[in-house]
Structure 1
Amino acid sequence: MTLPVHHRPTRLLERTFPTLSWGEPAASEIDDLFERMGRFLEAASMAPTVSGIWSPLADMHETDDAYVVEAELPGIKREDIDVEVSGRELYVTGEFKEREREGVLRRGTRRTGRFEYRALLPVEVKAEEVKANLADGVLTVTVPKTQAAKPRHVEITEA
């Protein structure tokens, strides 16, 4: 989910409203509402879905030979990730296990638990030749296209 960036150089109380004569209490309540909504949107963007499964941020791009998916999975071990290709679907699933900590956690914004990324590929692919690599917290999955999926230049002849 992409959220808009909220730039607020001044507080609502410092703005002037020439046609409205809001008093201090009303403007203060609205300003407080803006603050709470900002915190809510920030927390919602980090929260798992209703089912408790979250989806990692990922990009998919196409080359002449393959589809390449790059998914952000920082801190997740290779053995905790599963990559499957079935027909035209790519599934990346796994779990980010929360580590034990000493003391009291005061604020937690890192996602933990089960995750899932699904992509429907436009054409049939060579499932047996799919490669996956995890480096620097980024999982790169390369899914080769079948021969029929590759673009081919057709020469036009005169009749």
Structure 2
Amino acid sequence: MTLPIRHRPGSLLERGFHWPESMAAEFEDLFDRMNRFMESASIAPAMTGATAWAPLADIHETDEAYHVECDVPGMRREDIDVEVGEHELCISGELKACEREGVVRRRGRPTGRFEYRTLLPTDVRAEDVTATLNEGVLTVTIPKAQVAKPRHIEIQG
């Protein structure tokens, strides 16, 4: 089986491609998006760096907002980081393993660094995003931007 190759650092123009700058910028953006997609979809788990696991999450949409519900049982809000960037939501943190006596015979719950990423549509109000943690479920609410509605304009004399 062939695995996808991750895009190397450095712009296409720096590596000797002789394309117009706007075309190179579009390809750079495409490569960056594909890298983020592969990491979030766990297509290339060995390429994700220090991230050990991704929590389970549901995304649903209402007329007013997008809602992301992410399972982070046993986590404190201080140990979770929520960032909204350009067209992307990133939830990350670290779940520390409990110290126990004796020998661990079976480990089924994930521990260590985690990261959940998802792409956002362009019509959101990133400055109004809220996050709440309740009974091990992190809920991130991402309000939609108001769409300009057509209205009749009266022509003045």
Q: What TM-score do you get using the length of structure 1 for normalisation?
A: 0.60
Distance in 1 between residues matched to 2:123 and 2:80, nearest whole Å = 23
Q: CA deviation at 1:106?
A: 1.1
- 1:88, 1:124 within 8 Å by CA — same for their partners in 2? no
- 1:87, 1:124 within 8 Å by CA — same for their partners in 2? no
What does residue 129 of structure 2 align with?
A: 130
What does residue 93 of structure 2 align with?
A: 94
Gaps of at least 5 residues in structure 1 are: 1-48
Question: Which residue identity lines up with residue 64 of structure 1 in the other structure?
Answer: D
Distance in 1 between residues matched to 2:76 and 2:106, nearest whole Å = 23
Pairs within 5 Å for 1:9-20 = none
Gaps of at least 5 residues in structure 2 are: 1-44, 152-157
Distance in 1 between residues matched to 2:98 and 2:78, nearest whole Å = 16
- 1:83, 1:92 within 8 Å by CA — same for their partners in 2? yes
Distance in 1 between residues matched to 2:52 and 2:115, nearest whole Å = 7
Pairs within 5 Å for 1:54-69 = 54-69=53-68
Pairs within 5 Å for 1:66-81 = 66-81=65-80
- The sequence identity of aligned pairs, in percent, is 59
Question: Which residue identity lines up with residue 56 of structure 1 in the other structure?
Answer: P
**Could you say what the CA RMSD is over the residues aligned between the two structures, in angstroms?**
1.8
> What secondary structure sits across from 1:107 in the alignment?
coil
Distance in 2 between residues matched to 1:76 and 1:147, nearest whole Å = 34
Q: What TM-score do you get using the length of structure 2 for normalisation?
A: 0.61
Runs of 4+ displaced beyond 2 Å: 49-53
Residues 56-109 of structure 1 deviation map (CA, whole Å, 9 limit, x = unaligned):
110001111110000111111111100000122100010101121111111111
Distance in 2 between residues matched to 1:124 and 1:94, nearest whole Å = 27
Question: Which residue identity lines up with residue 84 of structure 2 in the other structure?
Answer: V
Distance in 2 between residues matched to 1:65 and 1:129, nearest whole Å = 12
